[in-house]
Amino acid sequence: MSVGHEVTAHGTLIDPHGRHIDRLRVSVTDRCNFRCSYCLGAHPKFAPRAELLTLDELDRLCSAFVACGVRRIRLTGGEPLVRRNLLSFVRALSRHLASGALDEITMTTNGALLGRYAAELADAGLSRINVSVDTLDPKDFKSITLGGDVDVVLAGIEAARAAGLPVKLNTVVQAGVNETAIPALIEYAHARAMDLTLIEVMPMGLFAGKRPPSFVSLKKIRADLEQRFTLTDLLDRSSGPARYVRVAETGGRVGFITPMSRGFCETCNRVRITSTGQLVPCLGHVEGLDLRAALRGSESEGPLIDAIHAAVAHKPVGHDFATPRCAPVAVERSMNVTGG
């Protein structure tokens, strides 16, 4: 891919509720090599390849956001490592790290291809990595992912650590599926100086408009963990929505992301870009705003910058998965479209 999409600083992104938007999550593909039961399922639908942004277009779009004050970019999917030539894209983005315009480039991955790419990702400029692991049990892992091999993922994690990449684990907790797997994940992660973040399953995609049957509040999970561990609340906050506790017995941290049981919308400082160029201002809203037209409609950066500011102006105060005032909205968009 070519490099050179540089734009002049053009204000900061402030949403209608006064929040400074300085985090961008970029889905580089909606494809994935897993079929997780709460995300894609056995019969996924993908966007036509002709609708996907090219890596040059993604670079131009990310550079425009950097010019608008975005300081952290996370690459997501689908599974980002199935996107061809992704390493060249990371290398291109890393020029913004060298210039000081960006603080970090991170990635969320299922880890299945990490063993192949970890060293090159570190060399290309990736700052750190999140790996999604919902259980350490091989049989349960295969069932959740519809065919994944947890040993391959764990080997990928070790490859990332050997390459010097800081690693954090993410776990989507589901009742009757992996809620009893959390203690083992805590011990595994903390033995390797990795944080573990637990996430509530959301009513999106396969569960649009209804509470997933496997939903379990992380309040209950925390109560269960406190029967085994001593947990102390921390003031630590990451660049995301997790609330952290310290586990006395291991010395490590566990984060809780609770979009359903305890909202965090008031501090939301991020927007998402899909692989087809739609800006998603909030996971819990149906609305997406097209940036692809502005991207392809002019070689000048002015219209693109204007479109970004106009899109951020639509960011709502909070999600509508469920409120006391109304029924949950039916967000048919699956997580593979926007990433985590």
**CATH number, domain containing residue 307:** 3.20.20.70
Residues 38-77 have pLDDT tens digits of: 887 777 888 898 899 999 999 999 999 999 999 999 999 9
Q: What are phi and psi of 60, to 5 degrees?
A: -65, -40
The candidate with the shortest Cα–Cα distance to 75, out of 117, 14, 127, is 127
Distance (Å, whole) CA 99 – CA 40: 38
pLDDT at 2: 64
Is 14 within the bounds of a domain?
no
For residue 170, name the pLDDT band (cuts at 50, 70, 90).
Answer: very high
Mean pLDDT across the chain: 88
For the chain, how many structural domains are there in total? Answer: 1
pLDDT at 324: 41
Is 7 within the bounds of a domain?
no
Q: Is the dihedral of CA 302, 316, 266, 291 positive or negative?
A: negative
24-28, 179-183, 250-254, 316-320: least confident range: 316-320
Measured CA to CA in angstroms, residue 204 lies from 42, 130, 210, 329 at distances of 16, 21, 8, 9
Is 13 within the bounds of a domain?
no
Residues 187-236 have pLDDT tens digits of: 999 999 999 999 998 776 555 555 678 889 999 999 999 999 999 999 86
Task: Provide the 3-class DSSP secondary structure of residue 180.
Answer: helix
Q: What does DSSP say about strands 243-247 and 231-237: parallel, antiparallel, or unpaired?
A: antiparallel
Is 47 within the bounds of a domain?
yes
Q: Which residues pair with 73 in a beta bridge?
A: 24, 105
Q: Which residues are annotated as a binding site for [4Fe-4S] cluster?
A: 32, 36, 39, 265, 268, 282
Is 326 or 186 the better-scoring residue by pLDDT?
Answer: 186
39-53, 164-178, 256-270, 288-302: least confident range: 256-270
Is 195 within the bounds of a domain?
yes
Residues 97-149 have pLDDT tens digits of: 999 999 999 999 999 999 999 999 999 999 999 999 999 999 999 999 999 99
Q: Which residues are annotated as a binding site for GTP?
A: 25, 74, 108, 168, 270-272
pLDDT at 39: 81
pLDDT at 330: 46
Is 224 within the bounds of a domain?
yes
Is 68 within the bounds of a domain?
yes
- Domain span at residue 158? 23-338
Q: Which residues are annotated as a binding site?
A: 25, 32, 36, 38-39, 74, 78, 108, 132, 168, 202, 265, 268, 270-272, 282
Distance (Å, whole) CA 332 – CA 47: 14
Is 250 within the bounds of a domain?
yes
CB within 8 A of 29, min separation 6: which ones? 52, 77, 78, 79, 80, 82, 83, 275
Q: Which residues are annotated as a binding site for S-adenosyl-L-methionine?
A: 38, 78, 132, 202
